[in-house]
Amino acid sequence: MRGDRAARAFGAALALVLAAGCATGRDPRDPLEGFNRAMYRFNDGVDQAIAKPVATAYKAAVPDLMRDWVRNFFANIGDVFIGVNNLLQGKPIDALSDWARVGFNTTFGLLGIADVASELGIDKHNEDFGQTLGAWGVPSGPYVVLPFFGPSTLRDTAGLTADTLTDPLTRHKPVRERNAATALRYTGVRADLLGASDILDEAALDKYSFQRDAWLQRRRSQIYDGSPPREADPAAESGENGAGAAVERSPATPDN
């Protein structure tokens, strides 16, 4: 039931995005700029009114050590499906490393609150299903700003749906505990980003464009594990090759 509701919610968001397809922007990667800017303002309003004040209070009230424990606990849960995505991307050694992290941190790290694995030299990875789709050669599609979730692309929206449906917290019961854990996780994430958001507020003349460009650049780097190939055809990369989709080559495809 919970999974069905999540899928319907994301489906409704996608339908809204596609319905706004007539709004075109100057950047060919962002054909839905009118809709995206409106959604960005909505998200920013929610952040300024709720998320940022809560995160600021959380950071001020909770000692650094305890915030580390919270961060590590949720990161340990995430390592399970990070390993799955690494395996799906054809990186079995990285997948085994991710699952080794889970084993060490869950046992010796007291359910993950201590990051023992990193102290042992087992690197943490950052993979999700959107990156897996990119590794398989699925085009990114247009840039999209999702309500509450923020920057994405059409491909990453599909990936986010899969990530949400496989998230252990999604199926945790009782519901009260699930909601409290979810709120704690996202509050911790927002608290870690307080410094970055302050820099954005001070430095960017157009926060929307700055965040869009930075996000797309970082996302491309993630798809290619930090070593993106040279962009041979800017028109193709920006989506001028038809249907307004930004095309990314599979990491397995040699650069011309």
Omega of the bond leading into 174 within 30 degrees of 0 (cis): yes
Q: Is residue 40 part of a domain?
A: yes
| pLDDT in the model for residue 187 | 97
Q: Is residue 254 part of a domain?
A: no
Q: What gap in Å lies between CA 105 and CA 98, rounded to an integer?
A: 11
What whole-number distance in Å separates Cα of residue 110 and Cα of residue 95? 22
Alpha helices in 47-153 (DSSP H): 52-61, 64-88, 92-107, 116-119, 129-135
Pick from 153, 204, 155, 129: nearest CA to 36 = 153
Q: How distant is the alpha carbon of residue 48 from its chain centre?
A: 20
Q: What is the mean pLDDT of residues 145-162?
A: 97
Q: Please report whether residue 106 resides in a domain.
A: yes
From residue 160, alpha-carbon distances to 128, 182, 203 in Å are 8, 16, 29
Backbone dihedral angles phi then psi of residue 84, each to the nearest 5 degrees: -60, -45
Structural domain contains residue 62: yes
Q: Answer yes or no: is pLDDT of 252 > 80.
A: no
pLDDT at 235: 45
Confidence of residue 232 (pLDDT cuts 50, 70, 90): low
Is-contact 185 213, C-beta < 8 A?
no
Task: Report in angstroms the alpha-carbon separations of 57 from 43, 66, 86, 220, 223.
Answer: 20, 14, 36, 34, 34
Closest to 194 (Cα-Cα) out of 1, 53, 87 = 53
Residue predicted with more confidence, 222 or 19? 222
- Model confidence at 205, pLDDT cuts 50, 70, 90, reads confident
Cβ atoms < 10 Å from Cβ of 249: 21
pLDDT at position 183? 96
Q: Which of 3-17, 49-63, 76-90, 140-154 has the lowest mean pLDDT?
A: 3-17
* Domain assignment of residue 214, yes or no: yes
Q: Does 255 map to a domain?
A: no
Distance from C-alpha of 250 to C-alpha of 229, rounded to nearest angstrom: 10
| Angle between the N-to-C axes of helices 175-192 and 52-61, in degrees from 0 to 180, rounded to the nearest 10 | 90
151 within some domain: yes
Q: Which domain holds residue 199?
A: 2-21+29-225
Residues 6+ apart with CB under 8 A from 146: 13, 39, 152, 157, 160
Least reliable range by pLDDT among 49-63, 181-195, 221-235: 221-235
Domain count, the chain: 1
In a domain, 240, yes or no: no
